[in-house]
Structure 1
Amino acid sequence: MAVKAVANSDQTVASDRTESSTTRGEPSTREVATVIAFNFFSSTGIVSANKLVYEAGFHFGATLTFIHFICTTIGLLLLARFGVFTPKRLDVRKALKLAIAGMGFVVFSNLSLQRNSVGFYQVMKHMTVVGVIIIEAIVFRRFLPWRFLGALATMCCGVIITGMTDFKLNTLGTMFALANILCTSFYQIWCGSLQKSLEANPLQLQLYIAPLSALSIIPIVPMFDDYRSSSPESIFNFVPTVNNVSAILFTGALALCVNVSIFLVIGKTSAVTYNVVGNGKTAFLFVVDFLVFGRPFEPTNVFGMTLTLCGVIWYTQLKLKARAEAERSGSS
């Protein structure tokens, strides 16, 4: 559901308009803060917007995902047309695996949101950090330092506690949530590695990913959404209005921002750090769930959100300390 630009520390966002970013150095704190804020507002916005679209009667998660990829593709072409970035020829075979993972990530994310409550959806979504750590260790032999595990465990416990009162389990919804964790983990890992191996900035890479993902999802859309003309629940019986069509297109615009911001955050930090940022978004979305969707406010939720934020702060301090140590060792 979104895309991003800039993967180089010695370039500004403006320089991305004329040349590809690289990964020669560490991004500045200001750059990291900017892309994290961009991801925060676009990601939290699209979750609430998608939920409103579903509640308005458009119960077709896979089709909505296809619309998001099309909107992302059109948006990127317009950005390229107006000189925001310069397209680059990439290895389609390498981009395709990321496109398939991205298709699965968005499809199962939308289906999980459609079939589950916002609370359970967020809890399972942010268990992705566990999936990333396990996959990186088993498949890529990259191990997270032990000192970070305590902070991550604190965050995960906080997310689980926050959603305890909202665990409205159902088999299909849980399966979608687990599939989302698997696809999202690979997607996030490959987002960072492919930007480096292909030497492409997020917009250049996403210009390949979005249309490939749209093509990949076409065969499976009828498997998840009802396209039978004889069915009363068919998509053909959905009555478009100015309001609901505008809402759907608005989620498409947010999808462009989300897809770009995912690539930006992971390109400038890491998949694990991206998930840590996501835990802060979880607390915010629970507040939105309380205010907009009528979820009851309970002390357990407050404790869980507080624990989650403590974990985020703890992890952030460890990352800042690790960066300072790396800078000292590099200058010595």
Structure 2
Amino acid sequence: MLLNFMSSVSIVVVNKLVMDKYGFHFAVTLTAFHLWSTFFLLLLTAKCGVFEIKRLPVRDVAKLAAGTMGFICLTNLSLQHNSVGFYQVMKVMTTPTVVIIEALLYQKYLENRLKLSLLPVCLGVILTTVTDFRLNLTGTIYAVAGVIVTSFYQIWSGTLQRSLDCNALQLQTYVAPLAALFILPLMPLLDQYDMNDLHSIWYYNLNVQNGAVIALTGFFGFLVNVSIFLVIGRSSAVSYNILGHCKTVVVLMSDFLLFGRPKSFKSSFGIVLTLVGVFWYTSLKLEKARVEKEARERAPSPKSVDDDSLTRHEEKIDVRSGSREE
């Protein structure tokens, strides 16, 4: 969770710098670069013995790869066409969307007290960002589509690791290159690739400075993609979203410091309210985990139950017939 926190905050800040300060307005191409960076760095880590590549059914992984493509692509497009504030408002809506999808499609219901703890989280982020709305139709469409796709992506990330019996690195080794291939047809459609246009990617002034920052986004993209699977595989999609809201607060603080966002009482109160909700939800989850652990420790193991049943059965035979014992 610490790895995901640090890398996710870093990639939002660095991506925004690449798009705004260095003028690289090609979000889909940047997404493809992040995916290929993830794949090649995974091959390097596997070569170093960090993990062993496992054969997985491509058909099963393809669904998650499509979700990965949509998740990263729509997130980058939303960040490109919206302010950081509206971008974060729409990201926070992923949490209730995950809860609704899991209830409707997977019959997985969240406890009422956990649902209640989500309210200050959502309200806090909305309060923090509501003063920064600069709505536009294109950006809103990308943001709404991103919420839906991201919700399914997060749910599938956890279920697929368990169903295929693989770890996060093994799964991401297949997902990243497939998602990068899926995104190829979208690059000339959503980014400017016209050779006759001076604002196209072919005329971008790539130099050592902006090239190094773009390369840094690829490294952070690798860390984000891997850590998402690690967190969701060991917790849940909702827990991952709560971690996301902690990241939201830090990203918004960076917005104040780096991008000149005006400070206000409403924004500050929203940050505090978000943190209250995060701590509340975390304490409830820890309490629930402690109760479940104590219940497992008190419950007899299946083997001991079988042994007790056998002993009682033998005692009954001894009482009813001594000849059976002989």
1:121 aligns with 2:93: no
Shift of 1:259: 0.5
Q: How does 1:220-259 map to 2 (within 5 A)?
A: 220-259=186-225
* Residue 100 (str. 1) matches residue 66 (str. 2): yes
Cα shift readout 1:93-143 (whole Å, capped 9, x = no counterpart): 110000000000000000000001111111111211111111111111111
Distance 1:238 1:226 in 2: 11
> TM-score, normalised to structure 2's length?
0.90
1:316 aligns to 2:282 (yes or no):
yes
Q: Give the structure 2 partner of residue 46 of structure 1.
A: 11
Task: Report the residue type matching 1:77 in the other structure.
Answer: L
Instruction: Name which of 68, 73, 80 aligns with 2:34.
Output: 68
Counterpart residue identity of residue 254, structure 2: V
CA distance in 2, matches of 1:131, 1:220: 26
Identity of aligned residues (%): 50
Aligned residue runs from structure 1 range 202-213, under 5 A: 202-213=168-179
Residue 172 of structure 1 is matched in structure 2 by 138
Q: How far apart in 2 are the matches of 1:271 and 1:135?
A: 11
Deviation at 1:232, TM superposition (A): 2.5
The amino acid across from 1:47 in the alignment is V
More helix by share: 2
Counterparts of 1:57 and 1:67, CA distance in 2: 16
Q: Provide, for residues 274-331 of structure 1, a one-character-per-residue CA deviation record: whole Å limited to 9, x for no partner.
A: 0001111111111100001111111110000011001001101110111111012111
Q: How does 1:1-332 map to 2 (within 5 A)?
A: 36-55=1-20, 56-332=22-298
In the alignment, the residues of structure 2 paired with residue 153 and residue 96 of structure 1 have an alpha-carbon distance, to the nearest angstrom, of 35
The 3-state SS of whatever aligns with 2:71 is helix
Q: For 2:271 and 2:141, locate their aligned partners in 1 and report how far apart those are by CA, in whole Å.
A: 25
Could you tell me which amino acid in structure 1 is paired with residue 15 of structure 2? N
- Which portions of structure 1, spanning 4 or more consecutive aligned residues, are displaced by more than 6 angstroms? none
CA RMSD of aligned residues (A): 0.7
CA positional deviation for 1:231: 1.6
The residue number in structure 2 matching 1:11 is: none
Structure 1 CA distance for aligned equivalents of residues 197 and 99 of structure 2: 43
Q: TM-score, normalised by structure 1?
A: 0.88
Query: CA–CA distance in 2 between the matches of 1:86 and 1:74?
Result: 15
Q: Distance in 1 between matches of 2:92 and 2:196?
A: 39
Aligned to 2:316: none
CA-CA distance at 1:145 after TM superposition? 1.2
Once the 2 structures are TM-superposed, how far is the Cα of residue 222 of structure 1 from its aligned partner? Answer: 1.2
Unmatched tracts of structure 2, length 5 or more: 299-326
Q: Distance in 1 between matches of 2:135 and 2:23?
A: 22
Which secondary structure state, in structure 1, belongs to the residue aligned with residue 106 of structure 2? coil
Partner Cα distance (2:189, 2:128) in 1: 33
Whole-Å separation in 1 of the counterparts to 2:269 and 2:225? 31
Unaligned runs of 5+ in 1: 1-35
Provide the aligned length of Structure 1 versus Structure 2. Answer: 297
